[in-house]
Every structure is written in C-alpha cells, then in structure tokens.
Structure 1
Amino acid sequence: MKKSLILAGLAASVLSFGTSAQQHSEQDHSKYVWPKDELVKKKLDNWQDIKFGLLMHWGTYSEWGIVESWSLCPEDEGWCERRGTSSANYFEYKKAYENLQTTFNPVKFAPEKWADAAQKAGMKYVVFTTKHHDGFCMFDSKYTNYKVTDAKTPFSSNPRSNIAKEVFDAFRKKDFMVGAYFSKPDWNTPSYWWPYFPPKDRNVNYDPKKYPQKWQEFKDFTYNQIEELMTQYGKMDILWLDGGWVRPFSTIDPNISWQKTIPYDQDIDMAKIAAMGRKNQPGLLVVDRTVTGEFENYVTPEQSIPDHYMPIPWETCTTMGTSWSYVPNDKYKSLREIIHMLVDIVAKNGNLLLNVAPGPDGEWHNEAYQRMEEMGKWVSVNGESIYGTKPVAPYREGQWAFTGKEKSTYLTYLAKEGETVPTTIVLPWKKVDKATQITLIGEPKPLKYKVTPNGIEVAVPEKVRTAVASQPAWVFKVANK
C-alpha cells in the first residue's frame, strides 16, 4: 500500500481519499469472477455478513515513523520520498533502512489488548501484515534471515517473537476471521531485486524471460513462504495479497494507467498457490488485489468508497489516521467520519477494513483505543442495521442509507456535526401496512407516524430525541409483521 495524500474531489466511480486509490478505482469490476468452490462461497457469504474488520500495517519502518516500505522504491513519487541523514545516497539509505532490523524491539507488544479493543469496537475480522514490500517478515520464515525472529533482531529473544502467530492466535480466541496480508513483491530477496542490477522502480529489476531460472527461484520463494503461513499458523480465512504489479502480463489492462507501466510478465502461478492454500485451509478466500479473475474473491478499493451500489463482494480498506504506517502524533478520523463510512459502505454492499498502525514499542496511539471505544458504543446499539444485512434500493439518498434483513428495513440518517433529531422527521419510505411498527433503534417504544406524499412522517418524543442527541447517525427501523 502507499501512503495516502489527501485530495478533494469526486472521481468518476469513487469518492477518493488519496492518490493511492487510483489503481483500484480504474479496475473493471464487470469482469469479476464468482467462485465455484462451495466452501469458498460459504465463507465469502459469511465474510459479507460480518461487515467490519481491522487491518494492521507494522514493521521496522515504525521505528522511523515513515511510510511503510516505499522509501526504498527508486521512483520519483511523493510516497517514495526519503528523509534523514542518509537520504541523499540511495544505497546508504537502503542499508540504514534494513539495519532497523537490529534495533526493532516492541517490548509492549500485547495482541490480546488489540483484540479486546477491536471486539468492543464491533470488528469481526483481522488482516495482519506478515510481510510488506520491504521483505521484512513478521513471522518465522525459514527462507530468509530478514525477519523478526532472527538473532539480529532484539525482539527475537522475546517468547512472543513470532509476532504474526501471536496476533492470529489472540484474535482467533475472540472468534475473529483471520487474514494474512502478504506482499507478492519482495525488495529484499535477491531473486526479485537481483543485486547484479540496481532497482529501477517497484518492479522486478531483471527480465524474467531472459533469466527464467532466477524468476523460478522467486516463484519458489513466494510459494514456500505462503505455504508456511497456510500450514504453521492455525486456521486461516483470508490470504490478502498486495503488490498488484506482480501479475501475468496477460492480465494487464492497457486502459488502466498504472498497469501500462509494468514492463515484464511477473506470473507467480496463482493457481498453484491458491490450490495449496485451499488444500491446507479449505474455503480460503484469496484476494489477489487488482488482478481481476478467479483469484480475487473480493475487490478492495483503497482509501476510497464507490459512489454507487456494487453487486459484487468488495471491501474499502482505509486508514483510521492519515497513514498506513505508524506516524508520531497522527491525526485520526472522528467517530462521525468512521461511522458514516461504515454505514455508507454497508448500504452499497461492501465491508470496511479499518487500518490502525502499531508503533515501534508495540502499542497503538491512545486515540486509537479511544476511537475503538466510541465506535463500540454506537455499534452495540445500532449493530442490527449493519451485521447480516443486505443493501436495499435506493441504497443512498442524500443523508439517508438503506439496509435490511428479513422483514425489517433500516433507514439510517447520517447526521451532520451539531444536527439534532427534529420533533418530526420524514423518512424517504412508503412501504408500510397496518401492522408496521417504526422505532428509533435503542428506544423500544414504537413511534407514531403517518404516510404522506413525501414519505413517512414520524413524530419523535423529546425523551427519544435527548437519548440520541449526540449520536453521529440515527437508525429508524421499519418492521413489518
């Protein structure tokens, strides 16, 4: 992933929060391939029901408080900018960056605390970065020494040094679905960035057709590391693959700007990887991001929300703060922003995967815990309008969002800052019968209403208005018998 650069404006098909969204917003979702494996379909249905997850980007880069991995990439882009005393010389910088392994020691690491906070916030699945593009493994891979469990890493002496395993175990104990983020490109391994050539950009730095044996080494390396994750880390629900430029040349869409810059065929044999993953983890969801086809079980717009309902499985992955990685004194989104995102996404048939980045000591910012607690208070009351629901047409209309399940329809009003529930409010809905009851979720007593040409006019008593006065969104439940 790339560091987000906040922009204003409406893209053609997405509400974009940053330039990193571009590679996902241009994707042709009409080519989505529904899975045929019954276990995969069942797990995908379950995943679509749980709606809300936690993503964590964490690695040695947290020690410098910089963007994850991208400062190693020799491209002239904002997210690749190098800083610090060695930034003037690329090779000195890369050596200093990789030397962070020798000081990484997150002594406050306690994943049970994260799992507890996420559960209270209403999250139900987790995706953890086992390896980002820089190649540093947060798991005990036997195929590299560039890992948290290597003797060069101070934290390796800690009994919980196999960080990915500890995270997965802690969240499983809270009944979370568990996902492994894994970067397909690896800028540390000599079979991807071959030391014989200097790296030119994010891509492999040699022509795989010219050096097929070297590329086969990389394919084997990638397969073997993923196999470790699929066989040694307990039940796995999601394999979440990043680095979409590592792909077969035949999948490149010439109409998509960033894909036109991929110089080589970088086929790593996803069919073989997926088959191995599902042999060891039946029903495994495979998310080969931006590579449209049978190995992208759901699509993942990044730092963006589609401006319309999408009939395929999808997930917005976005940051609670301004960065995917830990930044000192980061600015976090407000409760109102997060709840509005969640409601908007669910009404359009998506899930929200919200990123929180641990720091070099193994802790979150205090504000992250605070926001989790605030989210939990709203979700604990209004969760029935989120979990297990389906979008209901017209999906979004002004400040209203529509979801439903069984015989109930939920009309959620996304309140602006300082906006309060009026004494009467018109719901943009007319489907009622004599047995219909309307309530404001959290208040059990049915509200009085009448159907008008503009919708259902509901009277809201003062006691009810006071009870939800500080809420970022109000959920009206229209229940038919």
Structure 2
Amino acid sequence: MKPLLHQMLRALALLPLLGQTWLHSETLRLQIASGPFLPTAESLTNYVCPDWFRDAKFGIWAHWGPQSVPMAGDWYARNLYLQGHRQYQHHLEHYGHPSTNGWKDIIPLWRAERFDPDRLMALYRRAGARYFVSMAVHHDNFDLWNSKHHRWNAVQMGPKRDIVGAWQQAARKYGLRFGVSEHLGTSYTWFQTAKGADKTGPLAGVPYDGNDAKSWDLYHPPADPHDRGWYSTNRQWHLTWFRRIKDLVDSYQPDLLYTDGGIPFGGVGRSLIAHFYNANLRQHGRLEAVYTCKNSGSGEFIPGAAVEDVERGVLSGIQPRPWQTDTSLGDWFYNTQWNYRPARWIIHLLVDIVSKNGNLLLNVVQRPDGTLDPEVEQALEEMADWVAVHGEAIYATRPWYVFGEGPVRPRGGHFREDFPFTARDIRFTTRGRTLYAIALGWPEDRQIVIRSLASVPGTSTNRIQSVQLLGHPGRVHWSQTTNGLTIRLPDKPVSPHTAAFRITGRNLFPVPFETSPPPVRPDAQGRYILDAAEAELHGDHLRTEERGGRTNIGYWDRAEEWVSWKLQIPQPGRFQIAALCAAANGESRLRIEIAGQSLTRRIPATGSWDDFQPVELGVVEVSAPGVHTLSARPDAPSTWRPINLREVRVLPAP
C-alpha cells in the first residue's frame, strides 16, 4: 500500500505542473510575430508607452454595433434571456419570445444605413480627438470586420459592410491614430444566459434559441457548470479568441488595442500582446503600439506591460505611467432612457485626467443607423469651441509636481466619475517651462486664488513673471502674496466651463498649504448651512455626486464611513440640527456628533435617491466658543441603509 500511496501523492503534486505544461505547449503552438517581446511578464514589462499616446490626451470611441438596434442599452444580447429583466420585457414586446426570436434575429436588423464615417471623423477631429477607437467585437460575439474565422460578422450579415475598415480609413484620412476594442474574451460565459428558459408563465421550460446547436458558433456550446467567471476556463475558447483577435490585429494594424478586462487567458493573452508589439515594431521601426486593459480582478494585470484603463472612473493622483479613462456620453449602446452628458462634464473630466498623466477615451453614442442625436452633436461642437482656445493646456503636456488644488478630491477607481467641480478646483499641466493652471469654472466674483503659487519670502521659489488668460486678448491683473497667486478676471467669461492661465516664471514649485476646508462660519442670522460639497469624506467608497443640479453625498453603502464639517462657533448657544436626506432602500438611522453630544434619529425611506426630505435631528448645546467638528455617521451596521445627504443645517434654537 505504501508504494501505491506514494505514487498517488506524487501524481497529485504534479497536477499544477501538468497544467503549466499544457499552457506552455499551447503557447508554443501559437504563431506570433518574431521580435524582442516574448509572452512572459518579465519580457512584456520592457514595454514603453509611445509619445503619440502621451501627447494625444483625448480619444473618441465608437462603442456601436447591433446591440444599438433595440435602443434599450448595454448588455442587451445577454439580458434579453433573463426573464424579469427590463430588456427581456422590451424584447418580448418588440421582437417576440427568445425561444424563437433571440439575438440572432436582431443582427439582420442592424443596417447602419446612414453611417457616414467621413462626416463623423471630421466632427471628432474638430471636437479635439487625437485618436479614434472602433469597437471590433463586443461580448455579443459579432465581429464588425471581415473576419476570417467567424461567419457572424458585419460583412456577411447586418450592414454587410466592413465597419472597422470604414472607421480605419476615415481616421487615417483625418490624421487620427486608430485603435480597436475587443470585448470577446468574456463572451463564452457572458452568453450562457441564452441556454436558459422561462421559469414561469405560458412558455416556462421552453428552451431559448441559444440551446439550438446550429447557432452555437454564435451563442457558444454549454459551459461547464463551474465555469462562471468573467473569463472562461475553456481552453478551446482561449485559442479561438487568440485566432480571431490576431486576425483583427493583422488585418488592420491598429495603433491601439483595448481589452475589456485584464489580460485574458494567461500565456495565450500574453502571446497576443507580444505579437501585437512585435508586429507593430516591425511595421514602424519603433514601438508605436498601445495595449490597454483593466486592473480590476478579472484576468491578469502586469504593471508596466500595458496601459491601465479605468472604466467610468479616474485615478486619485499623478501616476508614474500613462493611463486611460474610458467612459461614455450616455449608455454604452444607444438607449432612449438615458440622458446625455453635457460638454462641461466632458471638459472637467478631461482636465482632471490630463493633470494626472492620463488620457480620456469617450464613447460617442450612435443611433442604430449610424447617426448622432442633436444633443450629442451640440456637446461635441461645444468641445470644439473649447479646444480651439484651450488645447495648448491639454495636448502634449505633462503633469506638474501636483495635479491640482481645491475642495473636490476625487477618489480613484472604476465607476467614480461624477464630481461637483467649481472654480475653486484648479488643475495643473506643463509644457516645457510653461505652467498651465485651469480653474474648473468661472467664478461669480471674477477672482481666482491659486494657493500652490504663493510667494516664498527669502527664496527664489515661485518668481512669477507673467500670467495670461487663454482666449483673452488683453492683460489680466494679478498679484502674488504668501497666501497665493490672485488673478482678477475680465467681466466677460472666455468660457463658462473653465478659466485657464498660461504662467511663466522661475523656480515654480507648489507651496504646501492646509488642504482641509476652512471652518464654516455663521451667516447673518447665525445659521450654519453645511453643504455636501464642503464636507470631509472619511472612507474609500463614499463620494459626492450631482443630482438635480445640486451636490449630495452618495454611495454611502458602508456603515464604517462617515462625513464631517468644521464650524466656527463664536459664542455658546443652543442649536437645532436638521438634515436633508434621500433614502431609496428603506429607512436608516443616522447619528450626529458635536461638542461631546450625540443625536440619533430615524431617516425615513423617501422611495427615490432624488427625493430629498428634511429630517429634524434634535437640539444640542455648545458651551464653549471655538472650532467644533460636526460628524454624521451611521448609527450601527445593523440599522444602516444607504442614504444620500444633501446638507445639514445648524440653526439657533430658542
């Protein structure tokens, strides 16, 4: 028995090595371009991001395909197979039951009959884009190019046109770098919903059309019951993904390749990147390729081997390597229920990202026929006007020593992109010895104070020589003290969105200063209005957002996170405290603490995140003058439900 047991233990110990051996042998079988890059983490970290990407700063993305047809938003091809989902209901009402009329029946309805890539690219160039990215394949497993390995493609079906090729030709014509995005890696598991059936109703148990083996080249064969991750463990699928994306890269020779997730499938994914880099190097004589992927827990992320992409979010500070935010003017695919972002939001996001060594890739939402809604065109024309004046503070710039100053301190991460910037939020960029300071608004009092550029007596630091307002032909009055650089603006705004300055001088370095908001002082009636935008946020998830044109504190999901304000109270007194709250997920309990006293009250459910209702919290007595901290906290994890908090009022009590 002992020899047999010993052999069994040895076999078990070798199982991980056998997996590595399979992966190594499969990697060796993959045909990749020869060159210095190998499909290993060590080799790929020799990558250096090209200057064209660092200089470009702003790209436009066409996240467009047959999922635009229902005009019901992103992930339609998957969610139409989820009974009870709004997109399932939409499909049932407009196209029929997914047992007979599924995703395969939507594809022929996408005709792109008014698609004019030349006109769109001219607009995108004017709006400031310096690179353009065409979606090549989404999770829906439909290739938008003349695929050699997949019959479900736009040349053979739907518009019967090479969409990627048309975009590429237009981008080259207008001098934009060209990229492609692939979302194929997750398709295998993403599409398993098509293998289901209704659980209730007259067609309960009738299989959806994804169960028909004749269409498995679109819907995929059934996955292993344990194969439910973002990326499938199916080895054959890994090789299929490699062949199709390699065909895409070889056919269109893009400058940029985007993957929706981390690097897929271990050595197979690394082989694709090595091939992309080596082929690009051979084509240009120098490496001009950019590969972007996410550091989000799906797949592999190798720092330095690629450009990090952040979906609908930003990073919190200046990064040593270039990075990219990808986001959208609306939903990812056309959706009649979504409102579009205004130009102001795009501009502020772009400036914040560029100040931190990043690029912005913006999806411009297209209708199924290929055209844009008037609101989208208007936003892009506003961008064009802004870029014409302020482009020198964006393109080919590099970060300063600090990215900026001001009360809004964006927290980094995916899906965090709504920030209540004002003219007090200032971002910095540099070009050579020129410093640009961009205020994210035009102040009503026409005065900007840049505290980072305060004078430093007795030193040669921050010897400012000139300050010019971009877009203004005349001079602006400015003065410099130990409190900062104060600039007086003209009566007429150059832009309603920003005030940008070209600053020259000697030894320009940021002067440290207190970053906490100053204490809130009482108004003429002795009231303290504690606005959400002025709060200090304590926690990684909590953040401010805009709702109904006003700022509120939201994403308050975690009971350990809290907010606070400092109050300058000149004399003792009694104060009535109230809060303006919205609670969509049920009632909650909030605790207010100030001057050693605590008030706990129930926050009633309001039914909506936008329905803010006043809540009386009680009375406190402050016995000593001075600066006091008021904090608002969840009372206890067991009683906490997320709330939106717009303001806290501290009023003199009788």
TM-score between the two structures when normalised by the length of structure 1? 0.75
Distance in 2 (alpha carbons) for counterparts of 1:67 and 1:33: 40
- Map residues 177-188 of structure 1 onto 2, 5 A cutoff: 177-183=177-183, 184-187=185-188
- Asked if the contact 2:144/2:154 (under 8 Å) is kept, the reply is yes
Structure 1 residue 345 corresponds to structure 2 residue 364: no
Structure 1 residue 451 corresponds to structure 2 residue 480: yes
Distance 1:297 1:465, change over 3 A: farther
Q: Which amino acid aligns with 1:312?
A: R
Structure 1 residue 475 corresponds to structure 2 residue 474: no
Distance 1:82 1:309, change over 3 A: farther
Name the structure 1 match of 2:588: none
Distance in 2 (alpha carbons) for counterparts of 1:480 and 1:79: 60
| SS of equivalent to 2:107 | helix
- Asked if the contact 1:133/1:243 (under 8 Å) is kept, the reply is no
Structure 1 residue 238 corresponds to structure 2 residue 259: no
- Asked if the contact 2:67/2:77 (under 8 Å) is kept, the reply is no
Structure 1 residue 327 corresponds to structure 2 residue 335: yes
- Map residues 209-224 of structure 1 onto 2, 5 A cutoff: 215-216=235-236, 218-224=237-243
| SS of equivalent to 1:101 | helix
- Asked if the contact 2:293/2:309 (under 8 Å) is kept, the reply is no
> After the TM superposition, which of the residue ranges 309-318 and 186-195 deviates more from structure 2?
186-195
Name the structure 1 match of 2:383: 375
Distance in 1 (alpha carbons) for counterparts of 2:85 and 2:171: 31
Distance in 1 (alpha carbons) for counterparts of 2:231 and 2:42: 31
- Asked if the contact 1:286/1:295 (under 8 Å) is kept, the reply is no
Name the structure 1 match of 2:450: 427
| SS of equivalent to 2:501 | strand
How far the C-alpha of 1:68 sits from its partner, in A, is: 3.2
> After the TM superposition, which of the residue ranges 358-367 and 448-457 deviates more from structure 2?
448-457
- Asked if the contact 2:69/2:368 (under 8 Å) is kept, the reply is yes
How far the C-alpha of 1:171 sits from its partner, in A, is: 0.9
Residues paired across the two proteins, number: 406
Name the structure 1 match of 2:278: 279
Cα deviation code 1:375-405 (max 9, x no counterpart): 1111110111111111223312111111112
How far the C-alpha of 1:164 sits from its partner, in A, is: 0.6
Distance 1:143 1:345, change over 3 A: same
- Asked if the contact 2:348/2:440 (under 8 Å) is kept, the reply is yes
Distance 1:224 1:35, change over 3 A: closer
- Asked if the contact 1:319/1:356 (under 8 Å) is kept, the reply is yes
Name the structure 2 match of 1:49: 55
Name the structure 2 match of 1:225: 244
Structure 1 residue 289 corresponds to structure 2 residue 294: yes
How far the C-alpha of 1:193 sits from its partner, in A, is: 6.1
Distance 1:223 1:425, change over 3 A: closer
Distance in 2 (alpha carbons) for counterparts of 1:387 and 1:344: 13
RCO (CA 8 Å, sep 6+): is it higher in 1 or 2? 1
Select the residue among 410, 416, 431 that pairs with 1:405. 431
Cα deviation code 1:102-151 (max 9, x no counterpart): 2221110111111111111111111111000010111111211211111x
> After the TM superposition, which of the residue ranges 61-70 and 396-405 deviates more from structure 2?
61-70
Distance in 1 (alpha carbons) for counterparts of 2:84 and 2:228: 14
Cα deviation code 1:279-315 (max 9, x no counterpart): 3322222223333116851111111122333222211
Cα deviation code 1:246-267 (max 9, x no counterpart): 74xxxxxxxxxxxxxxxxxx44
Distance in 2 (alpha carbons) for counterparts of 1:236 and 1:278: 11
Name the structure 1 match of 2:363: 355
Distance in 2 (alpha carbons) for counterparts of 1:443 and 1:103: 51
- Asked if the contact 1:72/1:94 (under 8 Å) is kept, the reply is no
How far the C-alpha of 1:195 sits from its partner, in A, is: 2.6
Select the residue among 315, 318, 329 that pairs with 2:324. 315
Cα deviation code 1:37-71 (max 9, x no counterpart): 5xx5252x321221111112111111101233355
Distance 1:467 1:427, change over 3 A: same
How far the C-alpha of 1:450 sits from its partner, in A, is: 2.4
Distance in 1 (alpha carbons) for counterparts of 2:135 and 2:240: 18
Q: Which amino acid aligns with 2:499?
A: W
- Asked if the contact 1:65/1:326 (under 8 Å) is kept, the reply is yes
> After the TM superposition, which of the residue ranges 134-143 and 443-452 deviates more from structure 2?
443-452
Structure 1 residue 195 corresponds to structure 2 residue 213: no
| SS of equivalent to 1:112 | helix
Distance in 1 (alpha carbons) for counterparts of 2:80 and 2:245: 27
Distance in 1 (alpha carbons) for counterparts of 2:267 and 2:152: 21
Distance in 1 (alpha carbons) for counterparts of 2:226 and 2:365: 29
| Alignment RMSD | 3.4
| SS of equivalent to 1:105 | coil
How far the C-alpha of 1:33 sits from its partner, in A, is: 8.7
Distance 1:36 1:475, change over 3 A: same
Q: Which amino acid aligns with 1:430?
A: A
Name the structure 2 match of 1:262: none
| SS of equivalent to 2:88 | coil
How far the C-alpha of 1:449 sits from its partner, in A, is: 2.6
Cα deviation code 1:1-40 (max 9, x no counterpart): xxxxxxxxxxxxxxxxxxxxxxxxxxxxxxx999655xx5
Distance in 2 (alpha carbons) for counterparts of 1:206 and 1:404: 44
Q: Which amino acid aligns with 1:279?
A: N
Distance in 2 (alpha carbons) for counterparts of 1:286 and 1:378: 29
- Asked if the contact 2:81/2:88 (under 8 Å) is kept, the reply is no
Distance 1:117 1:457, change over 3 A: same
Select the residue among 66, 69, 74 that pairs with 1:63. 69
How far the C-alpha of 1:333 sits from its partner, in A, is: 1.2
> After the TM superposition, which of the residue ranges 306-315 and 116-125 deviates more from structure 2?
306-315
Name the structure 2 match of 1:386: 394
How far the C-alpha of 1:415 sits from its partner, in A, is: 1.2
Unaligned runs of 5+ in 1: 1-31, 209-214, 248-265
Q: Which amino acid aligns with 1:476?
A: F
Name the structure 1 match of 2:440: 414
| SS of equivalent to 1:281 | helix
Distance 1:297 1:379, change over 3 A: same
How far the C-alpha of 1:430 sits from its partner, in A, is: 3.1
TM-score between the two structures when normalised by the length of structure 2? 0.56
- Asked if the contact 1:421/1:465 (under 8 Å) is kept, the reply is no
- Asked if the contact 1:35/1:41 (under 8 Å) is kept, the reply is no
How far the C-alpha of 1:220 sits from its partner, in A, is: 2.9
> After the TM superposition, which of the residue ranges 338-347 and 307-316 deviates more from structure 2?
307-316
- Asked if the contact 1:297/1:313 (under 8 Å) is kept, the reply is no
Structure 1 residue 298 corresponds to structure 2 residue 307: yes
Identity of aligned residues (%): 25
Structure with the bigger percentage of strand: 2
Unaligned runs of 5+ in 2: 1-40, 192-214, 282-286, 407-424, 456-460, 507-654
- Asked if the contact 2:49/2:307 (under 8 Å) is kept, the reply is no
Name the structure 1 match of 2:649: none
